[in-house]
Amino acid sequence: MIAPMAEPAASRPGPRLPAPLLAVAATFHNVALRRILAAYVGFSLAEWSSWIAILVYAYTQGGATETGVVALIQLAPSAAIAPVAASLGDRVRRDRALRFAYAAQAVSMGATAVALLGGAPNWVVYLFAAAAAASVTLTRPVQAAILPALARTPSELTAANVAAGTVETASILIGPVLAGVALAVSNAGAVFAASAGVTFIGALLVNGVRAPAGEYAGDLHPEATVSPGGLRGAIADTLAGFGMLAREERPRSVVALLGAASVLWGALDVFLVVLAIDLLDMGDAGVGFLNAALGAGGLLGAALSVALIGRTRLALPFVLGIALWAIPLSGLGLLPLPLAAFALLAVAGLGRVIMDVAGRTLLQRVAPERMLARVFGVLEGIDMAALAIGSILAPLLIGLLGAQGALVAAGLALLLATGASWRPLRRADAMGIARPREIAILRGIPMFAPLPPPAIERLASQLVPVTAPPGTDVVRQGEHGDRFFIIRQGRVRVAVDGRVVREEGPGESFGEIALLRNVPRTATVSALEPLELLALDRRPFLEAVTGQPASTLAAEGVVEARLGTGGRTDAGA
């Protein structure tokens, strides 16, 4: 993890809050984060309220069958659209993408409200509602992608995720209640109208958010902000996100487990109905009470997740959260008693929030920064598909194993998947280990200085120590270049065509030109003293430098300085 930095703190004298709480408080001193989190409150309430409203409307129109069909109509397109739509966050400035997301939600929810209040045919209402559900899938991926650039420290990033998780958990509890009150005094159209209003306010709030200068390609090359080919380019970008996850074990393991946990979440909607009515004999009202227990546990989990702030390792909390989510749900099958059910569901809700905060923060650390929106878009699509799959699998499991056996089997399946993913998760976690000396060295190199905290953490974790005795040629002119080097201790001599052009010492670097220009080494670099080097392989070097326009400019400045005036004077790059 990044070296300790000065965390914003209150200037007033008095008792000092614990460090995690200070980090949470610091997010509200960060104007951009404060705006995003305030907008997210309205977004989350609108998401849950509108979901309840359209399902209730469908039930009044055609009973349980139409309700199920409408749920599928909303989830299936959202699962398909989310990864493609979220690629917008990697193709334009992410602050603009976030503003677009909120504006799209306000328009689509407003259109649904007009259709409902105007008495439009059901198919028109469901079409607009599906568009609203699809627009909702854009916000979370873009928000997850922009937070690392806006957070000033790694602790602040985790704190922002904790705050967002708290908002979402509270909305799961409060949103349906608000929808119920609104439906009792009015109708579904009023709920969608209110949802459109709060998301429009969210659009105004995020309109004041600006990504750091030089953060995106659009800052330097406006014509390149959208990939060529329009929709075709968006699909290509999305496929690149899937391709990265297929290649990269560490982010793939996190996404896979979050998706598996969402399958259980989708199945739980069915299980709770069966549990309340058939196993516990609590009647229809019992379904609401059980969901409330889940939400109450989630609020407690949000409070406890503050302890994750400042942790360099998140794999263990992530797995612990999954276990606390899965084991109690299996326990429901073994102890189908009302009091036990409330307690177990509260623990499950607690675990789900810890799992979500730890998993998403870990994914922000290990996924390539330039592809964050696409990665979280893929996750959003997987979540939607997993919810639908879970709701379909639950009745099948109940038919095969009975209600109690199905609950036990579903929880155990998630635990087995978690056990199989433990080793990749530990490797992912290694990228977050604090390496203060390495990070300080990287910060001193102009091409790496603009990188956001998670990106520079990731880069520091990929540095490999290399030693060389005096007289050794570290790189030779004309050979293939596959590494970038930073001098940690000792001095080197740089020679071009046998002519010595300069010497370099601690803190200086060489090897970038062969990687950036894809040419053979243009100089020989020899050790004058015992050397301690830090080596970075070609792929992570290029991902870091070319993924940040400010870093690209700094790197090109180095190349031009070494090659531009008076011939070839580079350092073996």
Tell me, what CATH number does 181's domain have? 1.20.1250.20
* Dist. CA 35–CA 27, nearest whole Å: 10
Domain count, the chain: 3
Select from 433, 458, 474 the last residue of a domain. Answer: 433
Q: Please give the residue range of the domain that contains residue 59.
A: 18-152+174-210
Backbone region of residue 481 per phi and psi (left: phi > 0; alpha: psi in -120 to 50; beta: other values) = beta
In a domain, 13, yes or no: no
Return the amino acid letter for 139.
T
CA atoms within 13 A on the CB side of 370: 19
What pLDDT does 202 receive? 92
In a domain, 420, yes or no: yes
Q: Are 257 and 322 members of one domain? A: yes
Can you read off the two tokens belonging to residue 113?
A: 């409200």
In a domain, 179, yes or no: yes
What pLDDT does 68 receive? 65
Q: Does residue 409 contact residue 329 with C-beta atoms inside 8 Å?
A: no
Q: Are 369 and 342 members of one domain? A: yes
CA-derived radius of gyration, the chain = 26
What pLDDT does 433 receive? 56
Q: Are 414 and 310 members of one domain? A: yes
Q: Are 245 and 371 members of one domain? A: yes
In a domain, 382, yes or no: yes
Q: Are 421 and 440 members of one domain? A: no
Q: Are 534 and 456 members of one domain? A: yes
Q: Are 424 and 444 members of one domain? A: no
* Dist. CA 83–CA 94, nearest whole Å: 15
Select from 433, 459, 484 the last residue of a domain. Answer: 433
What's 520's domain CATH number? Answer: 2.60.120.10
Nearest C-alpha neighbor of 33 from the set 44, 45, 21, 25: 25
Helix (H) or strand (E) segment spanning residue 400: helix 372-420
Q: Are 69 and 206 members of one domain? A: yes
In a domain, 263, yes or no: yes
Q: Are 394 and 362 members of one domain? A: yes
* Dist. CA 525–CA 549, nearest whole Å: 28
The ranges of the chain with pLDDT < 70 are 1-28, 64-65, 67-68, 84-91, 153-155, 211-235, 237, 283-288, 309-310, 369-370, 431-436, 452-454, 547-552, 563-573
Q: Are 371 and 391 members of one domain? A: yes
In a domain, 373, yes or no: yes
* Dist. CA 233–CA 87, nearest whole Å: 10
Select from 386, 413, 433 the last residue of a domain. Answer: 433
Q: Are 444 and 387 members of one domain? A: no
From residue 296, how far is each of 173, 347, 348, 351, 354 by CA, in Å?
A: 7, 9, 10, 12, 14
In a domain, 221, yes or no: no
* Dist. CA 338–CA 341, nearest whole Å: 5
* Dist. CA 570–CA 404, nearest whole Å: 70
* Dist. CA 539–CA 260, nearest whole Å: 30
Q: Are 422 and 522 members of one domain? A: no
* Dist. CA 54–CA 353, nearest whole Å: 26
In a domain, 366, yes or no: yes
How remote is the C-alpha of 407 from its chain's centroid? 29
Residue 504 pairs with which residues in a beta bridge? 492
Provide φ and ψ at 139, rounded to 5°.
-65, -50
Say if pTM beats, i.e. exceeds, 0.85. no
Decide: helix, strand or coil at residue 152: coil
